[in-house]
Amino acid sequence: MVGGGERASFEIGSTGIMNCERHRWRESGYLMEIPLLLAAVGALLVIVLPMVPAFVGKVLVVIAALIGLAGLYYMFSVPGWLPGQGAHSCGLLGKVAAVAAALAIVAMAIRYILVN
């Protein structure tokens, strides 16, 4: 019994993990690992960037920009994707936000590389 006298329906998916139909909404959405990874990369850049030579700093900024772009891909392009599902998109607004954020990241990385 789940609550209120109703039974939860369970199914075994292709991964062998039991999924509860009632709590499927918890599985959809953004991965928490991506924002945490982006925050950790940002904090690392803030701490390490002033201490390293210019060339190493430029390499770190490029690596961080690539990590940021990969994180944006997973946050905007494939949110809530589960194994066994087909690809789904995030709509026009999500695509516009992803492109704007990607352009901002690339512009900041290029500016840092050219100025420093």
Per the structure block, which two tokens stand in for 80? Answer: 């809530």
In a domain, 18, yes or no: no
Which one-letter amino acid corresponds to residue 28? Answer: S
Supply the pTM of this predicted model. 0.63
Residue 76 lies in a domain: yes
- Name residues whose C-beta falls within 8 Å of residue 106's C-beta, 6 or more positions apart in sequence: 65, 69
Q: Please give the share of the chain, as a percent, with pLDDT higher than 70.
A: 62
pLDDT at 48 over 80: yes
30 Cβ neighbours under 8 A, 6+ residues apart = 75, 79, 80
Decide: residue 90, CB within 10 A, 0-12 exposed, 13-18 middle, 19+ buried. middle
Q: How confident is the model at residue 95 (pLDDT cuts 50, 70, 90)?
A: confident
pLDDT of amino acid 86: 64
Instruction: Tell me, yes or no, whether 19 lies in a domain.
Output: no
Distance CA 74, CA 78 (A): 5
Print the domain residue range for 36. 30-115
**pLDDT score of 110 more than 50:** yes
Q: Is residue 99 part of a domain?
A: yes
State the total domains in the chain: 1
Q: Is 59 within a domain?
A: yes
Residue 41, in any domain of the structure: yes
Gap between the Cα atoms of 78 and 92, Å rounded: 13
Note whether residue 54 is domain-resident.
Answer: yes
The verdict on residue 60 lying in a domain is yes
